[in-house]
Amino acid sequence: MSEKVLMKGNEAIAEAAIRAGCRHFFGYPITPQTEVAAYMARRMPKVDGLYLQAESEIAAINMVLGASAAGVRAMTSSSSPGIALKSEGLSYLAGCDLPALVVNVQRGGPGLGGIQPSQSDYFQATRGAGHGDFHLLVLAPNSIQEMVDLTYLAFELADRYRVTAMLLADGILGQMMEPVSLPDPAAADLPPKDWAVTGTGGKRLHNIVNSLYLKPEDLEATNLARYEKYAVIQRREARHEAFLLDDADIVVAAYGASARIAKNAILAARAEGIRAGLLRPVTLWPFPKAAFAQAAKTARAFVTVEMSMGQMIEDVELSVRCAKPVTLCSRVGGMVPAPEQILESIRQAAGGAK
Amino acid sequence: MQTVFEKTPGLTDAVLHYCPGCTHGIIHRLVAEVYTELGVSDRTIGVAPVGCAVMAYDYFNCDVVQAAHGRAPAVATGIKRARPDTVVFTYQGDGDLAAIGTAETIHAAARGENITVIFVNNAIYGMTGGQMAPTTMPGQITQTSPYGRDPAVAGYPLRMCELLATVDGAAYLERVSADSVKNIRAAKQAIRRAFECQLAGRGFALVEVLSTCPTNWGLEPVKALDWLRENMIPYYPLGVYKDSARDGKEAAQ
Ligand SMILES: Cc1ncc(C[n+]2csc(CCOP(=O)(O)OP(=O)(O)O)c2C)c(N)n1
Ligand code: SF4
């Protein structure tokens, strides 16, 4: 099916996951991601797959861990408060070097917060997904088509590097409808899962999937090995989109739904004679540091646009090594920045309101 | 020369780390003998808990996943649903199964998850050095109930077999004890039936094994066995709490 169909973001993720060969989905209802679960519940039985509603997000992520340990592509989806409950499982997945896909359709917080879109889980996704030293591979789509493409990519990279990938979306993208094409994902040459628990079949020694290392030397060694792998991922897998960036004086940094709105503001700024451009991280971890460092050579200032109190801004500042001023344009709690607000931030960065 | 006892190939050659007189070792052997004798060790997958048995992955000579504290039934669910042809068991202590993992236990049972759960009830948190467990007896002294468990403050012990017997999805529930040769024989039979339950696709099976923790009970191994008999068995009566095969047959008669 590569002709275009009109789909909601949440449903597009679900359909893409099935096309990517995922037949095991474990979930727990929460707004605004519920359509992912509902779509899975409808479709999975038709493709010999499993939709299983767990008793909690904690159980769901541990079911994902079990299925992944058994060598199949497995996923769960949730929204912010539910992702918090998955922290333990995310850490164990990392400690066991298991691939999986976790979708977070973010909503406002903290606490029960609200059910409107937000991007306030950036820290949680890129820094604080659970205890211990580890990273999730974090992909941030900004269109329904990208929700499909990045779901394919997430499964591929997860299997290639034995890491858990997170698709970090938000309530806007989850609920939005756009035409998408769903080609079958390209066949990838992936390493065999010879570490999986499948039963020995009497043909090999027993496989052990484990994150416990009581000898500090051993535990340190696993951490170092994992970080070597992370270094490879940082070198190879950082992705970004550049929009009117080449001659930009003012670089707007935004991901996901914020980046869509920012594009309008950038065009408006250009119409006023301000050379603005967009640098949109597609991977939040690894963060496209090199692209930012490059942009910092010619840009005068950076503006990050986020539906958070300023989280990604830290990565932007780190990437440009504070060589250029970086300011924040934000709305939170389910509020969405308007193009005019972003335009005003661009004007200020460019040297004052016109 | 006739061999009268052989270590089961279901266990690896690793030396068990359990304290002298601890019944964890016996229960390991029973489980390994059962899956070996049933001829399914090459398609058996174990799930180890967080607790003294955390390193069960080094001992069971089958594929093993080490789960987070209390989550073994959820991990086992994921494995079994991904590979229905395998034989999946969890091995869990009372803190793991009846405190932090209560929800995972009850809901795995409620789903009729086709797995086998070995539940080692030693009335204490062994691994962390002897704190009060959900199964600690009223009056029992532990590190965190130094004046004896006072139900007015700390509530009452949970009887998991009785509790799970009300759950339709549970197919086989039995409580046994590892305190004597006779009871250990019976324990093995129960474990065998719990694995056969899974092989027959009948759903959730759990065997609760009353077990000792001489180290944290502060008793010598033989005294610990006496304590188990005198204190635990009266509170946790042995027996079959549910057997869908038997109950089904009875209903059909
Ligand atoms: C989330 C979490 N909380 C607490 C612990 C600490 N902890 C390790 S083992 C254990 C209790 C184990 O007791 P039990 O399940 O009864 O098994 P036993 O050691 O007695 O065999 C606890 C509380 C942990 N590892 N993880
Ligand atoms: S602490 Fe208790 S349960 Fe743990 S190995 Fe020692 S005796 Fe056994």
pLDDT tens digits for range A54-103? 999 999 999 999 999 999 999 999 999 999 999 999 999 999 999 999 99
Q: Whose CA is nearest to atom 5 of ligand 2?
A: B18
Q: Report whether pLDDT(A343) > 60.
A: yes
DSSP codes of every residue in A131-188: SSS---EEE---SHHHHHHHHHHHHHHHHHHT-EEEEEEEHHHHH-EEEEE-PPPPP-
- Count Cβ atoms within 10 A of the Cβ of residue A179 and give its class: 0-12 exposed, 13-18 middle, 19 or more buried: exposed
Q: Is residue B18 part of a domain?
A: no
Closest approach atom of ligand 1 to CA B121: 16
Instruction: Give the pLDDT score at A205.
Output: 97
Q: Whose CA is nearest to atom 2 of ligand 2?
A: B213
Q: Is residue B163 part of a domain?
A: yes
Q: Is residue B186 part of a domain?
A: yes
Instruction: Give the pLDDT score at B251.
Output: 46
Interchain proximity A65–B61, CB inside 8 Å: no
B interface with A, Cβ–Cβ < 8 A, is 12, 41-45, 47-48, 54-55, 57-58, 60-68, 71, 74-83, 85-87, 103-104, 106-107
The Cβ-side half-sphere exposure at B150, using a 13 Å CA radius, reads: 6
Residue identified by tokens 């499993």 is A50
Q: Is A55 on the interface with B (CB under 8 A)?
A: yes
pLDDT-based confidence at residue A215 (cuts at 50, 70, 90): very high
Q: Does ligand 1 come within 6 angstroms of the Cβ of B178?
A: no
Give the three-class secondary structure for B230: helix
Q: Is residue B39 part of a domain?
A: yes
Ligand minimally distant from the alpha carbon of residue A212: 1
Instruction: Give the pLDDT score at B55.
Output: 97
The per-residue pLDDT for range B226-240, each reduced to its tens digit, is 999 999 999 999 999
Facing residue for A63 by CB, picked from B44, B60, B77: B77
The per-residue pLDDT for range A114-142, each reduced to its tens digit, is 999 999 999 999 998 999 999 999 999 99
**Percent of chain B whose pLDDT exceeds 70:** 98
Q: Does ligand 1 come within 6 angstroms of the Cβ of B18?
A: no
Query: Which of chain A's residues have a Cβ under 8 Å away from the Cβ of B9?
Result: none
Structural domain that includes position B111: 24-252
Instruction: Give the pLDDT score at B249.
Output: 55
* Domains, chain A, ordered by start: 3-237 (3.40.50.970), 241-352 (3.40.50.920)
User: C-alpha angle A57/B208/B100, rounded to 5°?
Assistant: 30
ipTM of the complex: 0.96
Q: Is A52 on the interface with B (CB under 8 A)?
A: yes
In this structure, what CATH number is given to the domain that contains residue B177? 3.40.50.970
Q: Is residue B187 part of a domain?
A: yes
Q: Report whether pLDDT(B168) > 80.
A: yes
Instruction: Give the pLDDT score at B1.
Output: 73
Name which of A262-266, A348-352, B217-221 the model is least confident about: A348-352
CA dihedral sign of residues A76, A78, A83, A88 = negative
Mean of per-residue pLDDT scores for chain A: 97
Residue A97 token pair: 């070097």
pLDDT-based confidence at residue B247 (cuts at 50, 70, 90): confident
Total domains in the fold of chain B: 1
Which of B96, B120, B144, B160 to mutate to test ligand 1, by most ligand atoms within 8 A of the CB atom? B96
Interchain proximity B43–A92, CB inside 8 Å: no
3-state helix, strand, coil in chain B (%, to 5): 45, 20, 40
Give the three-class secondary structure for B250: helix
Q: Report whether pLDDT(B241) > 90.
A: yes
Residue A224 CB neighbours (<10 A): 11
pLDDT-based confidence at residue A353 (cuts at 50, 70, 90): very low
Residue identified by tokens 């780190």 is A318
Global model pTM greater than 0.90: yes
Q: Report whether pLDDT(B253) > 80.
A: no
Facing residue for A62 by CB, picked from B41, B45, B67: B67
Q: Report whether pLDDT(B4) > 90.
A: no
Q: How far apart are CA A40 and CA A78, in angstroms?
A: 13
Q: How far apart are CA B114 and CA A54, in angstroms?
A: 15
Instruction: Give the pLDDT score at A354.
Output: 46
Q: Is residue B11 part of a domain?
A: no
Residue A291 token pair: 């692209």
pLDDT-based confidence at residue B5 (cuts at 50, 70, 90): confident
Ligand minimally distant from the alpha carbon of residue B94: 1
Interchain proximity A197–B79, CB inside 8 Å: yes
Task: List ligand 2's pocket residues with C-beta within 6 A.
Answer: B 18-19, 22, 24, 52, 122, 126-127, 213-216
The per-residue pLDDT for range B120-151, each reduced to its tens digit, is 999 999 999 999 999 999 999 999 999 999 99
Interchain proximity A66–B61, CB inside 8 Å: no
